A and B are shown apart, each in its own frame.
Chain A
Amino acid sequence: MSRTDSDHTAVGAPLLTVTGLRKAFGDHEVLRSIDLTVRRGQVVALVGPSGSGKTTVLRSLNVLEVPDAGVIQVGSDLTVDFSRPVPKRLLASLRDRSAMVFQHYNLFPHMTVLENVVEGPVQVRRRPRDEALEEAERLLARVGLSDKRDSYPFQLSGGQQQRVGIVRALAMRPQVLLFDEPTSALDPELVGEVLGVIRELSDEGWTMVLVTHELGFAREVADEVVFMDGGVVVEHGPAAKVLGEPQHDRTRLFVRRLQQRF
Chain B
Amino acid sequence: MESGIDWELVRTSLWPIVKYALIGTVPLTLASFAAGLVLAMAVALARLSRVKVLSGLGRAYVSVIRGTPLLVQLFVIFFGLPSIGVRLDPWPSAIIAFSLNVGGYAAEIIRAAILSVPKGQWEAAHMIGMSNRLALRRIILPQAARVSVPPLSNTFISLVKDTSLASLILVTELFRRAQEIAAFSQEFLVLYVEAAVVYWVLCLFLSVGQSALEGRLDRYVAH
Contacts and interface: CB of A to CB of B under 8 A. Distances in A.
A191 B128 CA distance: 25
A108 interface: yes
B interface, size bucket: 20 to 34
A110 B129 contact: no
Contacts of A169: 127
Interface in A67-109: 92, 95-96, 99-100, 102, 104, 106-109
Contacts of A172: 127-129
Contacts of B223: 154
B142 interface: yes
Interface string B117-139: 01011011111111000100011
A230 interface: no
Given A102-B123, A106-B121, A109-B143, A120 B221 contact: no
Interface string B96-135: 0000000000000000000000101101111111100010
A2 interface: no
Nearest to A92: B129
A178 to B, nearest CB: 9
Interface string A115-130: 0000110011100000
A24 B142 CA distance: 34
A interface, size bucket: 20 to 34
Given A110-B146, A154-B222, A124 B134 contact: yes
Contact of B127 (A92, A99, A123, A154): A99
Interface string A152-171: 11100000000000001100
B220 A124 contact: no
Question: For chain B, what secondary structure do more than half of its interface residues adopt (helix, strand, loop), or is it mixed?
Answer: helix
B137 to A, nearest CB: 9
A169 B128 CA distance: 8
B126 A64 contact: yes
Given A108-B121, A108-B124, A123 B221 contact: no
A196 B81 CA distance: 71
Contacts of A92: 129
B142 to A, nearest CB: 5
Q: Which of B126, B129, B138, B223 has the most CB of A within 10 A?
A: B129
A106 B128 contact: no
Contacts of B220: 109-110, 152, 154
Nearest to A98: B127
A108 B120 CA distance: 10
Interface in B206-223: 220-223
Given A104-B120, A124-B134, A154-B222, A110 B127 contact: no
Contacts of A110: 142-143, 146, 220-221
A62 interface: yes
A168 B123 CA distance: 13
Contacts of B123: 64, 100, 102, 106
Contact of A95 (B124, B129, B138): B129
A154 B223 CA distance: 8
B11 to A, nearest CB: 50
A119 B143 contact: no
Contacts of B121: 106, 108
A239 B70 CA distance: 69
A24 B177 CA distance: 67
B128 A119 contact: yes
A63 B126 CA distance: 9
Contacts of A102: 120, 123-124, 127
Interface of A: 62-64, 92, 95-96, 99-100, 102, 104, 106-110, 119-120, 123-125, 152-154, 168-169, 172
6 contacts: A102-B123, A102-B127, A106-B121, A107-B124, A109-B143, A124-B129
Interface of B: 118, 120-121, 123-130, 134, 138-139, 142-143, 146, 220-223
Given A119-B128, A123-B130, 10 more contacts: A95-B126, A95-B129, A108-B125, A108-B139, A110-B142, A120-B129, A120-B130, A124-B129, A125-B129, A169-B127
Across chains A and B, which 7 residue pairs bring their CB atoms closest together, nearest first?
A: A154-B222, A120-B128, A106-B124, A106-B120, A124-B129, A100-B127, A110-B142
